[in-house]
Amino acid sequence: MSPVIKMLGKYKKEAILSPLFKLLEALFELFVPIVVASLIDIGIGNADKGYTVKMFFLLVLLAVIGLSFSITAQYFAAKAAVGVGTRLRSTLFKKIQSLSFSELDNIGTSTMITRMTSDVNQVQSGINMFLRLFMRSPFIVFGAMIMAFTIDFQAALVFVCAIPVLAIVVFAIMLISIPLYKKSQNKLDKVTGKTRENLTGARVIRAFCREDQEIDEFKNLNSQLTAAQKYVGKISALMNPVTFVIINVAIVVLILVGAIRVEQGVLTQGAVVALYNYMSQILVELIKLANLIITMTKSVACCNRVTAVLETNSTLQHIDNDTIETGNCIDFVNVALTYQGAGGESLTDINFSIKPGETVGIIGGTGSGKSSLVNLIPHFYDCTKGGVYVDGKNVKSYSPTELRDKIGIVLQKAVLFKGTIRDNLLWGNKNATEQQLVQALEIAQAADVVASKKNGLDEVIEQGGKNLSGGQKQRLTIARALVKQPEILILDDSASALDYATDARLRKAVKGLKNTTVIIVSQRTSSIMSADKIIVMDDGKIVGIGTHNQLLDSCSVYQEIYSSQTDR
Cα gap 228→211, rounded to integer Å: 26
Q: What is the DSSP letter of 323?
A: B
Note every long-range contact of 99-103, with CB atoms under 8 Å and residues 24 or more positions apart, other chains counting: 99/312, 99/314, 100/314, 100/315, 100/316, 100/380, 100/381, 100/382, 101/375, 101/380, 101/381, 102/315, 102/339, 102/340, 102/381, 102/382, 103/312, 103/314, 103/315
Q: Tell me the H-state helices in 115-238.
A: 120-133, 136-151, 153-200, 202-207, 211-237
Nearest in space to 283 (alpha carbons), one of 396, 149, 140 = 140
pLDDT value at residue 68: 92
pLDDT value at residue 54: 86
Per residue in 516-538, pLDDT tens? 899 999 888 888 888 889 999 99
The number of CA neighbours under 13 Å toward the Cβ of 471 is 13
- Residue 519 pairs in a beta bridge with 360, 490
Residue 492, SS3?
Answer: strand
Amino acid at 558: Y
| Chain centroid, CA 327 distance in Å | 43
Cα gap 261→256, rounded to integer Å: 9
Nearest in space to 106 (alpha carbons), one of 347, 388, 299, 313 = 313
Domain positions in the chain: 2-310, 359-370+406-566
Cα gap 487→510, rounded to integer Å: 13
Residue 477 phi/psi, 5-degree rounding, is -70, -35
Cα gap 112→187, rounded to integer Å: 14
Calculate ∠ Cα 31-36-42, nearest 5°: 120
Calculate ∠ Cα 351-354-357, nearest 5°: 175
Amino acid at 539: D
Per the CB < 8 A criterion, the answer to whether 255 and 117 are in contact is no
Please indicate whether the domains covering 2-310 and 359-370+406-566 agree at the CATH topology level.
Answer: no
Cα gap 423→465, rounded to integer Å: 13
pLDDT value at residue 568: 42
Residue 537 phi/psi, 5-degree rounding, is -110, 145
Cα gap 295→127, rounded to integer Å: 9
Return the biggest CA–CA distance within the chain: 119
Calculate ∠ Cα 197-370-193, nearest 5°: 10
Distances (CA, A) of 367 to 364, 373, 378, 548: 8, 11, 20, 22
Per the CB < 8 A criterion, the answer to whether 294 and 125 are in contact is no
Residue 412, SS3?
Answer: coil
Indicate the pTM of the whole model.
Answer: 0.69
Q: At a CB cut-off of 8 Å and minimum separation 6, what does 335 contact?
A: 347, 349, 350, 351, 376, 383, 385, 386, 387, 388
H/E element, 537:
strand 533-538
Nearest in space to 131 (alpha carbons), one of 169, 64, 63, 83 = 83
Radius of gyration (C-alpha) of the chain in whole angstroms: 35
For 2-310, which CATH superfamily applies?
Answer: ABC transporter type 1, transmembrane domain (1.20.1560.10)
Residue 62, SS3?
Answer: helix
Residue 369, SS3?
Answer: coil
H/E element, 19:
helix 12-38
Q: Cα dihedral sign for 14, 20, 24, 27?
A: positive
Cα gap 428→544, rounded to integer Å: 34
Q: What is the DSSP letter of 42?
A: I
Nearest in space to 380 (alpha carbons), one of 531, 497, 465, 490 = 490
pLDDT value at residue 413: 83
pLDDT value at residue 536: 93
Q: Cα dihedral sign for 340, 341, 345, 346?
A: negative
Domain 359-370+406-566 falls under CATH 3.40.640.10: no
Low-confidence stretches of the chain (pLDDT beneath 50): 568
pLDDT value at residue 500: 82
pLDDT value at residue 320: 81
Count CB-CB contacts under 10 A for residue 327: 11
